[in-house]
A = this chain, B = another copy of it.
């Protein structure tokens, strides 16, 4: 029985409480400064309003003001914020860490260096640590096809757990593994993070297919939808993920595994990113679509912004040619540059 904490009471962070609890760990779910209402409901009714479920056993909830008490003695800390919260986490977490702790992130995203380098959140968090403990805390990440509500419903889910060393990855995978949750350990932490970030961008493309369908009047009288187009965008997305993984020296096989094809499948089955893609496919400009979904966190936008900085740098360093990554370029054109949507199918494959 370990002492474990989850910082952030959003969907995915909170869902991590289920496998941790089912493995008989002590789980402390700590809200951020934005999660006050959620934690209040958890404390009052033992019910998580976002997940719509009773909390499992062994889970204690904490307001952000109680974080120092909650983190005391914890061996595992889940960084459970989304990409908009990473800056906040970088301020709040490092000063509170102690040697020997392990931090597991669930945040999808990547940061672009001006030189074309890619930085991932576990390393960004690590860099923010005081020198005295930087090498004495392990940073890992979980990614792959996992809808939070299904994990909390104890539906079977296979994910990947990445760390800088296989030893740490295996140790953490054992801690999280249950009869319904299967984390595969990997030491290609960078590849994992790149895969799960990029799939968010390409999910947008799959959604666009169904928006184009709507614009063209929907399913026709003979019953034809736009699955062929969605599949072409899906495949081109997987292929571009593979290309980028290879370019960055990561495991290209991830493209046809959990962080690529698998995660792209699950996000394509519904949710914000697909809805946003659908609006763009219907012919809305980026601004119009963003306005319609003003309340939604859309991580794909930040990821495409990062990619819009990386692509020119990669081109300058002759890492990619003008013909490479046509779908990524089309997504950047629409989402970052605000141009009207143009999917260059003839340039694919």
Q: Which among A153, A235, A349 has the highest number of chain B CB atoms within 10 Å?
A: A235
- A330 CB → nearest B CB, Å: 14
Chain B residues, CB < 8 A from A230:
265-266, 269
Residues in A145-163 with C-beta less than 8 Å from chain B: 145-147, 149-153, 155-158, 160
| Given known contacts A150-B224, A348-B182, A232 and B256 CB-to-CB distance under 8 angstroms | no
| Given known contacts A52-B223, A256-B241, A261-B238, A228 and B150 CB-to-CB distance under 8 angstroms | yes
Q: By the criterion CB–CB under 8 Å, are B228 and A257 in contact? A: no
1/0 contact string of A257-271 vs chain B (CB within 8 Å): 110111111101110
Q: For the complex, is A239 an interface residue (Cβ under 8 Å from B)?
A: yes
Stoichiometry, as copies per complex, reads 2
Chain B residues, CB < 8 A from A264:
261
Checking B225, B232, B265 against A145 with a beta-carbon cut-off of 8 angstroms, the contacting residue is: B232
Residues in A284-342 with C-beta less than 8 Å from chain B: none
Q: By the criterion CB–CB under 8 Å, are A153 and B220 in contact? A: yes
| Given known contacts A239-B253, A242-B256, A256-B261, A228 and B146 CB-to-CB distance under 8 angstroms | yes
1/0 contact string of A180-223 vs chain B (CB within 8 Å): 00101000000000000000000000000000000000001111
Chain B residues, CB < 8 A from A151:
228
Q: By the criterion CB–CB under 8 Å, are B266 and A260 in contact? A: no
Q: By the criterion CB–CB under 8 Å, are B156 and A226 in contact? A: yes
Q: Which among A223, A229, A265 has the highest number of chain B CB atoms within 10 Å?
A: A265
Checking B222, B239, B349 against A52 with a beta-carbon cut-off of 8 angstroms, the contacting residue is: B222
Q: By the criterion CB–CB under 8 Å, are B238 and A256 in contact? A: yes
Q: By the criterion CB–CB under 8 Å, are B221 and A147 in contact? A: no
Chain B residues, CB < 8 A from A266:
227-228, 230-231
Residues in A135-151 with C-beta less than 8 Å from chain B: 144-147, 149-151
Given contacts A147-B224, A241-B256, A258-B349, 20 further A-B contacts (CB under 8 A): A51-B222, A52-B221, A144-B235, A145-B228, A153-B220, A155-B225, A155-B226, A156-B228, A157-B228, A158-B236, A182-B345, A230-B265, A231-B258, A231-B269, A234-B261, A234-B265, A235-B257, A235-B265, A242-B253, A265-B268
5 sample A-B contacts, Cβ–Cβ < 8 Å, listed by A number:
A152-B222, A153-B222, A156-B232, A158-B228, A231-B258
